[in-house]
Amino acid sequence: MAGSQDSGPSPTSPAPVLPLFQRSWFAPTVLLAPTLLWLIFFYIAPIALMVWRGLMDTGLQGYIKIFSSDIYLKVFWNTLQISIITTIGCLVLGYPIAFALTVVGRRLQALILVLVTLPYWLDYVVRSYSWIVLLGRRGLINNILVGLGIVDQPLPLLFNLFSVCVGMIQVLLPIMILALFGAMSRIDRRLMLAAEIHGASRWRAFRTVFFPLSLAGVYSACLLIFISALGFFIVPALIGSPRQTMITQSILVLAETLLNWTDAAALSIVLLVATMVLTIIYDRFFNIDRLWGGDQR
């Protein structure tokens, strides 16, 4: 009878075998394959070769030499100090601008974004040399200060810690602003309006509502800027002095000038490990999922 016939496949019947291109993992694998191959050949493989060469030549002696040398320890301190100052400077300057972008009109917002990204239309080298024109002993700033009688002698504004930090802040500030603006744009402005309706002033509404909600963006932006600053080379090389030598400059000198590939490899691995440790610490305290909008723990 028709009613006794099975209306569907038997529970014990084997599942249909789908063609390869119809399987759920096929499309993601094909789309990710070029990127994975690029990372393997141009990132993972060189790093593995660098680690292998460093260990095979002298074992751990290269790493022991780095941490027992006053010169390398000074370079580490310079890199850490400059990166911290740069991150703080970008945050102090970038937070108000990012906040202003969330409250101004569309046209003014577009104009500010153009001005923020305008420096990236120029090369790093050109921007670095522009600071020599501005901060030199006969530069624009010193000429103005001496001409107005504010100072008697030109100030030492170039080839020191100040010029390096100013140059790096100028390069990384747009990244800080855009990262903070992206995070702040996701904050519901009606929350501040609700606080004002309940009697809070605008400052108190900002301090108790908006600022705590923006901290996730602050953490991710600061991590991005700090890691970027760790690997800077052009700015400290052009407008800094030997006292502001950073890790990447030392790596270049060891590899290209002294042909000391062993120490260069060891120093590069130390920089890579330090960056990874920093990321792990960030994930432990601030949840790295915030970088791409994940849920907070």
The DSSP string of 11-68 is: TTSPPP---GGGSTTHHHHHHHHHHHHHHIIIIIHHHHHHHHHHHHHHTTHHHHHHHH
- State how far the Cα of 250 lies from the Cα of 260, in Å rounded to an integer: 11
Asked whether residue 107 falls in the same domain as residue 216, the answer is yes
Encode pLDDT of 176-218 as tens digits.
Answer: 999 999 889 888 888 888 888 888 888 888 888 899 989 888 9
Mean pLDDT across the stretch 156-165?
A: 91
Let me know if residue 4 belongs to a domain.
no
pLDDT the model gives residue 82? 95
- pLDDT reported for residue 64: 82
79/168 same-domain check = yes
If asked whether residues 50 and 173 sit together in one domain, one would say no
Residues 270 and 148 in one domain: yes
CA proximity to 135, closest of 161, 116, 172: 161
Model confidence pLDDT, tens digit, residues 66-120: 888 888 899 999 999 999 999 999 999 999 999 999 988 889 999 999 999 888 8
Residue 296 has pLDDT above 70, yes or no: no
pLDDT (0 to 100) of residue 1: 47
Q: What CATH number should be reported for the domain holding residue 94?
A: 1.10.3720.10
Residue type, 162: F
Overall number of domains in the chain:
2
In a domain, 180, yes or no: yes
Phi, psi of 115 (to 5 degrees): -65, -35
Domain containing 243 equals 68-292
Whether 116 and 151 share a structural domain:
yes
Single pTM value for the model: 0.81
